[in-house]
Amino acid sequence: METAVLYEEVKILQDRMDEETYNHCCNVRRAAVRILQQLPEKELLDKKTLENACAILDIGKLLINEYVFHKTERFSQVERELMNLHSYLGYCIAKEQGVPGMIPEILLYHHGRDQPVLNNVPIMTEKIEQYVNVIHTVDVYEALTEERGYRAPYSPREAYDMMCGKGEYHAKALNFLYDLKL
């Protein structure tokens, strides 16, 4: 695979990640780039933007307490709500560090439309949504098939079955991910 062309601001943020978050972001980036080549949207999505957004997808987790982030049992409701803020925190970090283009907004919405309504954040545009549809699908699939402190990884088939037919995931990307993992 060719080397990613990462913005300097993105490289600096990657260096601040713990190994687990860095590896997850790299897995998402690799899969998203491979998927991009297979999708009709490839003409609409910029590969460099996609790669850079995926490379720091979960940078907001830097600001979440280490105890919560690496917990070995399931999250409480309060802990889950705290973890759900990582996309907003990532947006804030990326903006503050001068990460260019749409990348901060992609980080903000990378878990899809079901984000809490926050003050002073941009509305998800149609262009951002095109990136988010692919990235959200890859991010969730990768997370399900990776080991977590509180659970074993799901098999590719289990992850696919859990996500399939829900309507919130990019169907072609999900099918490609399933085929890729087999």
Residues of the chain above pLDDT 70, percent: 92
pLDDT of 117 reads 58
pLDDT of 37 reads 87
Question: Looking at 4-13, 49-58, 59-68, 118-127, which range is the least confident one?
Answer: 118-127
- The confidence band for 166, taking pLDDT boundaries of 50, 70 and 90, is confident
C-alpha distances (whole Å) from 21 to each of 133, 148, 169 are 21, 11, 22
65: Cβ–Cβ under 8 A, 6 or more apart, which residues?
82
- CA pair distance 109, 71, nearest whole angstrom: 24
- If you average pLDDT over each of 34-48, 66-80, 122-136, 168-182, which comes out highest? 122-136
pLDDT of 1 reads 44
